[in-house]
Structure 1
Amino acid sequence: MKQNPNYFIAIMAGGVGSRFWPASREHLPKQFLDILGVGKSLIRMTYERFLPLVPAERILVVTNKIYKDLVLEHIPELPESNVLTEPSRNNTGPCVAYTAFRLQAMNPDACFVIAPSDHVILKETDFLNKIETALDYASREEAIITLGIQPTRPDTGYGYIESSGETVEGTLEKVRSFREKPDLNTAKSYIEAGSYYWNAGIFVWSAKTILSSFKTNAPDIYNILSEDLFQYNTDNEQSYIDRVYPKTPSISVDYAILEKARNVFTLPADIGWSDLGTWNALHAFKDKDEYGSVVIGANTMMLNSKDCLIRSDAEKLVVIKDLQSYIVIDEKDVLLIYPKEQEQEIKQLRSNIQNQEFK
């Protein structure tokens, strides 16, 4: 792929992944785990996915300050100055704005992709072709672009993008609205309508365009982070961010910008995408045995059991009999055995645990 010096990648890696407890923990969250059992962490896979498009020096990782060393451990070739550390967890709105201010200081003509660190994409060549299309358009027009995933089922776990049907340059579609995670009947109606896409949370824009949108649609975030623009991309940036960033409101970029802006487009994409947001999503994504079970890392003997997800240490023999539709996650200090149909309770279950070392 031809590399454009104005193109950058920003990878968001500050979350905890609490729905993947007990594998994902406060001190070692999901993005730093080999969740798929392929020998690479999710953040490493995300980083490598973008390398055909941009070199390491134009890839940034935005994370919580407590994970900086983990980022550099998993991506040792990344320049240390390319790890942007947030002093507080204020959701994706301030995260995007901070990234845009930094990139604008690095290159006033910067266009960038901002993407989560913990998603899986099977059709990587198709994905990069879509990203190139989006970057090309964003570099020429004041456009806010989000990838729209072709839905394969009426899923209640994703937000949806409603397309207006109006196309631009044959590929981009003007967005009519963003919809919250629906109930099942509503999700079915979206699929039947044929004009809805899953919101993958992968965005493309120029630094100039997105900062202009923050100034208009989220002036509180813009004003706080633009207090002293000369601090960005200097040795003083971290102390400046440590001081001003916690003052920003905690809000997603979807609420802060996308639902208000007029210049939002979606680029439909069939790229073999999964956000791997839950254990059930992982079960759906992975290949299964003849009884519909997924086993990751474990040396397992399954007797009269089906539709399970088992994750354990390969050095341990796990014997399971007469178990149906359960999640079994065996960590060194926590063992979770939970019905698949009730896995939405896991996030709350984790928050109820009193002992911090188990979180």
Structure 2
Amino acid sequence: MTISKSDQQMLSSLAKPYDRIAVIGAGSWGTALATVARRAGREVVIWGRDGEVTKAISDRQENPKYLPEIGLPEGIEATTDMAAALRNADAVLVVTPSTTLRQICAQMKPHLGDGVPVALCAKGIEAKTGLLLGEVAAEELPGHPIGALSGPTFAKETVLAHPTAATVAFDFRYSDRLAPHNSPAARLAISMSSESFRPYISDDLVGVEIGGAVKNVIAIACGMMSGAGFAENTRAALITRGMDEMKTLAEVLGGRRETVTGLSGAGDLTLTCSSTTSRNMSLGTQLGQGLRREECFGGENVVVEGEVNSISVVDLAAQIGVTLPICEAVHAILHEGADLTQTFRDLWSRPIEGEPRTLGISLNHPFGESA
């Protein structure tokens, strides 16, 4: 069914924003999203573990630890008290590392109002269980709509009000189909919209989550090859074939291939694979230059989501019988001690396949092991 322009405008006017938004996580991206919500006119409270950071946000409108020398909007409340952060919240953005999500959700549970929607802003797949983060949150927070906010979004650029777009995804219930303007996805999108931040709405939570989880692994691969001295041809090939791996995994898990071509897939993948501002790309670059893992980032213990996700993504793919050659190559280098040069040489000499896959062709590569 096609919706007329006048009907679209009417639906927009009917969509009611969430008045008070709680942001759980006061790192760079959490602070950026708090800034976005505040600029959009919302009441905003941000929770963090570090009292010095929350005090600086409240008192001086800055986050000197994660976004130094950048002014934040006035009126953002900040606290280390989870109960205070969630009190009277109409919607919640969870912006903590994927590895701590289950613990954070359990900590949130006693303080959440009935039916308050929760949007996840981290990206990954839970280790050992193979659950998408949305499934983890749903287990810990029954009765709450669970969604995701994802897209090509560097935190610093977002805070500086560079035009930025992202996807807000929630599974649509029957009632959401009947009144899409009342869906959590639509209401959160309206709540975060401003002159510089443009959300899009999706009902494909699985597709959005897979894009976010896999793109970090592909970014490490791109960094490895750039660090090893290869150039744009190589990076373009890895981005394109990496997106195919994202599509394949999403489709098997019930998502849509189309979603992966959007902001949360192709958009985020392109951004993350194009700049060492991304910690994933930066880690790969340093490894490609010959640094040992413990020497990367000047020896600091920097959490890199793609490094963690490479384990859970490859494990999940193996469980469901999906082959992800680039992700498997990154996993082998990071966690199995495989030689970087030989691993990528083997990747490039895999059997020659059809594009599209429906051709069903597989030819031994002249320089491959099976030749």
Q: TM-score range by the shorter chain?
A: 0.3 to 0.5
Q: TM-score, normalised by structure 1?
A: 0.33
Larger strand percent: 1
Q: TM-score, normalised by structure 2?
A: 0.32
Structure number with the bigger relative contact order (C-alpha 8 A, sep ≥ 6) is 1
